[in-house]
Structure 1
Amino acid sequence: MMDGRTQGRTEMRRGGAAARRPLALALLLALSACAGEQTGSVLVPAVVAVPPEAPRTTGRPANVTDADHTKLVASFGGEYRAPATLRLLTEVTDRLVAASDRPDQTYVVTLLDSPVVNAFALPSGRLYVTRGLVALASDTSEIAAVLAHEIAHVTLNHATARTELELRSQLVSRVVADVLNDPATGAQLQSQSRFALARFSREQELEADAAGVRTLAKAGYDPYGAGRFLTALNRTLALKAGGGTAAEPDMLATHPGTTERIGLVTRAARRTGAPGIGVDDRAVHLAAVDGLAYGDNPGEGAVRGHRFVHPSLGIAFEVPDGFSIENTRNAVLGTTNEGSRRLLFDQVEAKDGQGLDAILKATWNDAIDPASIEVAPIAGHPAATALSRGKDWTFRLAAIRVGETTFRLIMAAKGATDPDPAFRRWTASLASVSAAETASLKPLRLQVVAAASSSAEDLARRMAVPDRALDRFLVLNGLERGVPLKPGQSYKVVVE
């Protein structure tokens, strides 16, 4: 899948049921494993009813139940109602399937109401694309590149092959450990299989990239759209990382580095012809995304500048200067530009009668300094705070109970520096959300506008984003810094 792992997570350990909502193992094994950047809201929202404009199916997808599909869709915010966007995705899919190695395969596309950049496929022919991915793409050929990649996973039977390898590896290690009574060797084989499975998955991603580009070209789309989209994804990850560059995966990563993938798809595109072949259908894409929701669903938490507001939970807080924050599916994450300070806010479950200090100990894996534990109200709410020192980071922790809900706030500073002053300002800002603030919290949307001048800065000033407006405008439109705009040409901006 189009890879966009969330960058910049420190040694922070998340706890509680809110941070652990896996689907059934069978469904996870059926996925084509193109996990994108993992973001969403703290709470999984309710499933949205399937809109009447949903694409027609020409056969019931196999190997996945309706309940599995419902759970999967719910975990990504439900289905998103955007008839024009869904129509574009369906038309592009039909065109790609006709040019693929299995034109008889039926597919159903689901547009997910999630701001993350993600797409994935099930062996049955169900394709899932987030509105965040659609928003990032600059033209139809880039969307087609993503869909062609996912279709390649299905036609190449990647999910089945990966499942068989994983089950075989588990069986071998279990036989050695239990039947042959050699737990040490069994554990060693299990560890080796993790590396083998990760390598196998990376090889599948590269194979799907190459096959996807071939299908893209055969369908008449610009084959260089694959490289452009991966470049935009890499730039997006760099913005999230805060340090200017996206981190490359480790040996256990299931996806190759984005830079490696860009090189591969660019070489594959060159084998089909010189730049300029195929169509990008930019105008068609822009018409389909005009008005598309952008970023978080305000009802499930939204970032506005340095302030996080969650109307459904009824809470809000402000982070100290220098932090950029992001609302992900299970937590709010924050980092400074240089990456030396990080923060995390999430919800944890507490047992009846469990003290807040006990909750901190139960949801944190590193040692907590017993002398640092304080049980005292914060912003009028019952709270407990503590200090923990890891190998490379120093952490300040808090558990705060608001009504019947317990939240955890963690701030980390690299090295031995205690982040306590900034941490106390952050925790003290926790407050209830007023009805007026809830009413004023409007969703962000994409708006397609014509450039009045050649200055990218002019349109960037219209971007309703918390920081780095010019960088975000350039990434959103696939532009490089210093390249002039074309007056009269249409571009995407983010507005309230």
Structure 2
Amino acid sequence: MDANRGIDRLRRGVCVGLATLWLGACVAERATTAVAPAAVRVPAEAPRTTGRERAADADHLKLVSSFGGEAKAPAVTRLLTEITDRLVQASDRPDQAYAVTLLDSPVINAFALPTGRLYVTRGLVALANDSSEVAAVLAHEIAHVTLNHATARSELELRSALVSKVVADVLNDPDTGAQLKNQSRFALARFSREQELEADAAGVKTLAAAGYDPFAASRFLTALNRTIQLKQGGGSRGEPDMLASHPGTTERVAAAIRAARKIGAPGLGTDDRSRFLAAIDGLAYGDSPRDGVVRAGRFIHPSLGIAFAVPEGFSLENTRSAVLGTTADGNRRLLFDQIEAKEGQALDAILKATWNDSLDPAGSSLGEVNGHPAAFALSRGKDWTFRLAAIRIGDATYRMIMAAKGSADPNAAFQSWTASLGEITPEVSASLRPTHLQIVPAPGPNPDDLARRMVVADRPMDRFLVLNGLERGAQLTPARSYKIVTE
């Protein structure tokens, strides 16, 4: 990766896993847990999909595996099934068969297959505050199925690809073929955005018809938007580019509110908050310790047997392929990952092989980090300055990159960060406990009382407010139940 592409990855990385929030499938490699999906009850005479069961089952298994397997939360799965059943009966296709699967992933996501399989992550369920908000998500995904969006998009993709190929190959006009292909990308992007807004509108109608609060869709989208901003350190996501396949969250919130107002004023329908909170009490929250977690200012990865200190001012995001971090102002970024190395390959050669931009000889050196061999390098891009290290611990080679915007050199913070990398003992690994949601009554109106009990990496007050759909400055209702994160 060159310098600009490298910092793009660092910049985008802090919202990996959120980039497709409630938008589509963002796949991650994790192990499968064999738990049967909950099937919605349908009449025996309802039509069934035939001829594609084997392929559909294969798709299902791949998706489940890539999202960490199925979550073991029977109460949540039962509730999702009942909500889906209620929505189906109120939809335009009450005869459609559905099966809903709760995925064991902290990513906030939901999606549907044309076969009627619905998927919701535990991260999404944790963000919701009542049954109507989860119902809003499921109604949106059901709308994608009933409106045949996947089939329509596939047909447009095939048609666009065929036209550009014919022009390029048959008519021997590759330039025009390339131009048509590029134009088709814009058409597909617009098509996807229109599909999302159409599904939002249809979902709100189904939500209200099923007796749920139609304003729940806008509430959940607002929580989603706040989560994105929190993940980015308080910065704004900004407007989507022309090829974004989904409309901006702010646009979707406004459209969802308009759709709900056409049905009636706020206060319609039920939210079923108490039952929802009872069902999610104890639900796993955040990353599994086996995949690496932040505890007491350190990132600890039991499977790899390593840990490092979180640099001051950084918030970390643990993704499938790397740990990425950013400061609140966005002026500093970091990346930590494990890289493949050829047998006998020198560490300085590894840095050169994995960084396509030029390295400044003045910043290159060999040394040790806590007794482990290491190589260090410096790279200056147009807009960013990078410090890099490759460190070998046992048979594994780890890469650490810190970037600072402009000509500022992050070397002091970088040296402190790399010096903190080391092996952990089995006792440290065994001491890690997964975090989960706990539903507790507010002891008083001050949110500090509950926020200080949050077991999170940083910004406990902000995370408590977002998790509970509260604005800064809000007062709690004494004895009312709220979500906190505990071990």
TM-score (normalised: structure 1) = 0.89
Answer yes or no: is the 8 Å Cα contact 1:32–1:123 preserved in 2.
no
Amino acid at match of 1:386: A
**2:63 matched to 1:95?**
no
Match of 1:45 among 24, 27, 30: 30
Displacement of 1:366 in angstroms is 3.0
Other-structure match for 1:395: 386
Match of 1:148 among 139, 147, 165: 139
Amino acid at match of 1:446: L
1:328-368 residue CA offsets vs partner (Å, 9 max, x unmatched): 22221111111100111122223344433333333334333
Answer yes or no: is the 8 Å Cα contact 1:306–1:325 preserved in 2.
no
Displacement of 1:131 in angstroms is 0.4
Answer yes or no: is the 8 Å Cα contact 1:368–1:386 preserved in 2.
yes
Other-structure match for 1:494: 485
**2:315 matched to 1:318?**
no
Q: Provide the C-alpha distance between the structure 2 equivalents of 1:375 and 1:181, rounded to a whole number of angstroms.
A: 54
Answer yes or no: is the 8 Å Cα contact 1:366–1:388 preserved in 2.
yes
Q: Provide the C-alpha distance between the structure 1 equivalents of 2:247 and 2:106, rounded to a whole number of angstroms.
A: 23
Q: Provide the C-alpha distance between the structure 2 equivalents of 1:292 and 1:491, rounded to a whole number of angstroms.
A: 14
**2:169 matched to 1:178?**
yes
Displacement of 1:39 in angstroms is 9.0
1:362-421 residue CA offsets vs partner (Å, 9 max, x unmatched): 333433335533343333223322222222111112222222222221111111112112
What is the DSSP-based 3-state SS (H/G/I as helix, E as strand, rest coil) of the residue aligned with 1:376?
A: strand
Q: Provide the C-alpha distance between the structure 2 equivalents of 1:94 and 1:202, rounded to a whole number of angstroms.
A: 27
Displacement of 1:442 in angstroms is 0.8
Q: Provide the C-alpha distance between the structure 1 equivalents of 2:131 and 2:104, rounded to a whole number of angstroms.
A: 19
Amino acid at match of 1:421: A
Other-structure match for 2:292: 301
Aligned in 2, Cα 1:111/1:380: closer, same or farther, shift over 3 Å? same
Other-structure match for 1:482: 473
**2:194 matched to 1:197?**
no
Q: Provide the C-alpha distance between the structure 1 equivalents of 2:369 and 2:122, rounded to a whole number of angstroms.
A: 38
Q: Provide the C-alpha distance between the structure 1 equivalents of 2:285 and 2:261, rounded to a whole number of angstroms.
A: 33
- Please show how residues 80-91 of structure 1 align to structure 2 within 5 Å: 80-91=71-82
Q: Provide the C-alpha distance between the structure 2 equivalents of 1:305 and 1:247, rounded to a whole number of angstroms.
A: 32
Answer yes or no: is the 8 Å Cα contact 2:99–2:117 preserved in 1.
yes
- Please show how residues 226-375 of structure 1 align to structure 2 within 5 Å: 226-375=217-366
Displacement of 1:66 in angstroms is 2.7
Displacement of 1:212 in angstroms is 0.5
365-374 or 306-315, which moves further after superposition?
Answer: 365-374
Q: Provide the C-alpha distance between the structure 1 equivalents of 2:193 and 2:105, rounded to a whole number of angstroms.
A: 25
Aligned in 2, Cα 1:419/1:255: closer, same or farther, shift over 3 Å? same
Aligned in 2, Cα 1:480/1:33: closer, same or farther, shift over 3 Å? closer
Displacement of 1:167 in angstroms is 2.2
Answer yes or no: is the 8 Å Cα contact 1:220–1:278 preserved in 2.
yes
Q: Provide the C-alpha distance between the structure 2 equivalents of 1:377 and 1:171, rounded to a whole number of angstroms.
A: 56
TM-score (normalised: structure 2) = 0.90
Match of 2:23 among 1, 18, 34: 34
Q: Provide the C-alpha distance between the structure 1 equivalents of 2:355 and 2:246, rounded to a whole number of angstroms.
A: 29
1:445-467 residue CA offsets vs partner (Å, 9 max, x unmatched): 10001112111111111111122
Answer yes or no: is the 8 Å Cα contact 1:235–1:246 preserved in 2.
no
Displacement of 1:244 in angstroms is 4.2
Q: Provide the C-alpha distance between the structure 2 equivalents of 1:299 and 1:444, rounded to a whole number of angstroms.
A: 12
**2:402 matched to 1:405?**
no
Stretches of 4+ aligned residues off by more than 4 angstroms: 56-63
Aligned in 2, Cα 1:13/1:469: closer, same or farther, shift over 3 Å? closer
Displacement of 1:193 in angstroms is 1.9
Aligned in 2, Cα 1:395/1:282: closer, same or farther, shift over 3 Å? same
305-314 or 83-92, which moves further after superposition?
Answer: 305-314
Q: Provide the C-alpha distance between the structure 2 equivalents of 1:184 and 1:381, rounded to a whole number of angstroms.
A: 53
168-177 or 110-119, which moves further after superposition?
Answer: 168-177
**2:8 matched to 1:11?**
yes
Answer yes or no: is the 8 Å Cα contact 1:54–1:86 preserved in 2.
yes
What is the DSSP-based 3-state SS (H/G/I as helix, E as strand, rest coil) of the residue aligned with 1:251?
A: coil
1:103-126 residue CA offsets vs partner (Å, 9 max, x unmatched): 111111111111111111111111
What is the DSSP-based 3-state SS (H/G/I as helix, E as strand, rest coil) of the residue aligned with 1:377?
A: strand
357-366 or 263-272, which moves further after superposition?
Answer: 357-366
Aligned in 2, Cα 1:378/1:456: closer, same or farther, shift over 3 Å? same
Q: Provide the C-alpha distance between the structure 2 equivalents of 1:248 and 1:331, rounded to a whole number of angstroms.
A: 26
Count residues with an aligned counterpart.
467
Match of 2:456 among 465, 484, 487: 465
What is the DSSP-based 3-state SS (H/G/I as helix, E as strand, rest coil) of the residue aligned with 1:406?
A: strand
Q: Provide the C-alpha distance between the structure 2 equivalents of 1:455 and 1:13, rounded to a whole number of angstroms.
A: 37
Q: Gaps (5+ residues) in structure 2?
A: 1-5, 12-19, 43-47
125-134 or 480-489, which moves further after superposition?
Answer: 480-489
Aligned in 2, Cα 1:161/1:357: closer, same or farther, shift over 3 Å? farther
Displacement of 1:468 in angstroms is 1.6
Other-structure match for 2:415: 424
Other-structure match for 2:436: 445
What is the DSSP-based 3-state SS (H/G/I as helix, E as strand, rest coil) of the residue aligned with 1:138?
A: coil
Aligned in 2, Cα 1:186/1:357: closer, same or farther, shift over 3 Å? farther
What is the DSSP-based 3-state SS (H/G/I as helix, E as strand, rest coil) of the residue aligned with 1:149?
A: helix
Q: Gaps (5+ residues) in structure 1?
A: 1-8, 15-30
Amino acid at match of 2:288: N
Answer yes or no: is the 8 Å Cα contact 1:227–1:265 preserved in 2.
yes
Amino acid at match of 1:461: R
Q: Provide the C-alpha distance between the structure 2 equivalents of 1:191 and 1:352, rounded to a whole number of angstroms.
A: 42
**2:118 matched to 1:121?**
no
Displacement of 1:489 in angstroms is 0.9
1:224-283 residue CA offsets vs partner (Å, 9 max, x unmatched): 000000000111111111134333321121111100000000000001111111000001
Amino acid at match of 2:292: G
Other-structure match for 1:220: 211
Other-structure match for 2:16: none
What is the DSSP-based 3-state SS (H/G/I as helix, E as strand, rest coil) of the residue aligned with 2:455?
A: coil
Aligned in 2, Cα 1:71/1:394: closer, same or farther, shift over 3 Å? same
Amino acid at match of 1:49: A
**2:67 matched to 1:76?**
yes
Answer yes or no: is the 8 Å Cα contact 1:39–1:328 preserved in 2.
no
195-204 or 78-87, which moves further after superposition?
Answer: 195-204
